[in-house]
Amino acid sequence: MATLRETQERHAQDVVNGNMAGVMADLTPTGMTKVMALAAGGPITATSFELRDLGNNEAETTYIGEKRRTIWSKWEQVGDRWQICDVAERASA
């Protein structure tokens, strides 16, 4: 099983690459609902990312492109996978 950090990094790279199948596979049903609400603000377009571990299975990922978007996520272990169960956009610096 991949570690939480490995999963978070792969997930962020999937977002950058536009791999929506990979992104969606990392979401619990509750996480999916919250991501759909975020998507109303427009797609994330990025060429790179910065990942910050906040502890307690939480992370902030800043996606960097023409503009920066910072996404907070809470992860939980579901069987042998890590999945996002909560997510919110945060103000980018």
Average pLDDT, the chain: 95
Quick one: pLDDT at residue 82? 98
pLDDT tens for the 93 residues of the chain, in order: 899 999 999 999 999 999 999 999 999 999 999 999 998 888 899 999 999 999 999 999 999 999 999 999 999 999 999 999 999 999 876
Range of the domain at 57: 4-90
Specify the CATH number for the domain of residue 85: 3.10.450.50
Q: Are 84 and 72 a contacting pair, CB within 8 Å?
A: no
Q: Which residue has tokens 């950058």?
A: 16
**Domain count of the chain?**
1
* Whether the model pTM is above 0.85: yes
List CB contacts of 46: < 8 A, sequence separation 6 or more: 15, 16, 63, 64, 65, 69
